[in-house]
């Protein structure tokens, strides 16, 4: 798994910890649109857009 944000630790556990910490602060990530999903054997790629929400407001 490649890291796209240096403030989030590597791997799924790092992403999970970061999302949990944001949720505690009332921040959530809401997927808005999926542009495409590509799959080949054991690999898949999803190209999506998301919106950050804080306290029911857009960031």
Cβ(59)–Cβ(53) below 8 Å: yes
Residue 51 pLDDT more than 80? yes
Using CA atoms, how far apart are residues 13 and 51, in angstroms rounded to an integer?
22
Q: pLDDT tier at 56 (50, 70, 90 boundaries)?
A: low
Cβ(57)–Cβ(36) below 8 Å: no
pLDDT score at 40: 97
> Average pLDDT over the chain, rounded to whole?
85
Q: What are the domain boundaries of the chain?
A: 11-58
What is the Cα gyration radius of the chain? 13
Higher per-residue confidence, 51 vs 2: 51
Q: What is the number of other CB atoms lying within 10 angstroms of the CB of residue 19?
A: 14
pLDDT in tens, 30-49: 888 999 999 999 999 999 99
């Amino acid at each position: 798994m490649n890291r796209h944000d240096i403030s989030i630790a590597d791997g799924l556990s790092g992403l999970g910890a970061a999302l949990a910490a944001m949720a505690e602060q009332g921040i959530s990530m809401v997927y808005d649109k999926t542009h495409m999903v590509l799959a080949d054997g054991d690999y898949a790629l999803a190209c999506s857009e998301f919106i950050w929400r804080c306290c029911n407001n857009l960031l």
